[in-house]
Amino acid sequence: MRRAFSDQEFVSPPEYADNVCSSKEKFNKFLDKLWGINWNLHIAKNLKKAKDILGYIARYLKKPPISNRRIIEYDESAITFLARDYEKKKRLPFSISLDYFFISLFEHIPLPSFPLVRWYGLFSNRNKKKYIEQLQGLIPSKKQKEESDPRPMWRIRFEQRYGNDPLLCPVCKKEMELLFVLSARTIKKLGLLSLEEVLPAFCLNPSF
């Protein structure tokens, strides 16, 4: 790469042209920094058949980063799962902390409304200019959503999923105020009353 840069044969990405690749000194400094990193590279064989390529892409888009069957065991501090060892060419048990596992897992979870396929269908260069503006006009803005239904989104989603408003009392049909959220595990641990026992008491005595 250094020789290609000196011979002006190195083609740099546009985002590096005015910074890293603007001079030989900056380019060498950039390579020295990369040289100090311990890289773990795996170059797979080229997929020659279009069907195999589509299958690989479809699995990556649809399937989770790790399947449940690869997870062997876990506890409150660590998780053990099968990971591929490319030197031994087989899957071996691998244990890491739960914190590191979830950090690695969350990197594969796309942000809301993030398009995973950007150069196909509506996002292709041929169709993008033609349809994107029309689609954006169909998507309601945040202000329009608030005007149509001022309730928080989690409350709307809950009602759409389960068919009832989570803040509407099933006994007196009046709107309740959300004070805090307790998980089922916490309720069981603290020995609190069940929902059927608590709600009538609240309705009969608001100062309960």
Instruction: Report pLDDT digits (tens) over 132-190.
Output: 777 777 776 767 666 677 777 788 888 888 888 888 888 888 888 877 776 666 666 66
For residue 155, report the phi and psi dihedrals to the nearest 5 degrees: -70, -40
Alpha helices in the chain (DSSP H): 2-6, 14-17, 24-35, 50-62, 98-106, 125-138, 142-148, 153-162, 184-190, 195-204
Instruction: Report pLDDT digits (tens) over 25-83.
Output: 888 888 888 888 887 776 667 767 778 777 877 777 777 888 888 999 999 889 999 99
Cβ atoms of residues 110 and 124 within 8 Å: no
Instruction: Give the SS3 label for residue 131.
Output: helix
In the chain, the percentage of residues whose pLDDT exceeds 70 is 81
Burial class (CB in 10 A: 0-12, 13-18, 19+), 141: exposed
For residue 153, report the phi and psi dihedrals to the nearest 5 degrees: -65, -35
* 26: CB partners within 8 A, 6+ apart: 19, 20
The four Cα atoms 52, 58, 59, 64 give a dihedral, to 10 degrees, of 170
- Mean pLDDT, range 108-122, rounded to an integer: 76
- Mean pLDDT, range 104-117, rounded to an integer: 80
CA 81/CA 98 separation, integer angstroms: 12
Instruction: Report pLDDT digits (tens) over 81-98.
Output: 999 888 888 889 999 998
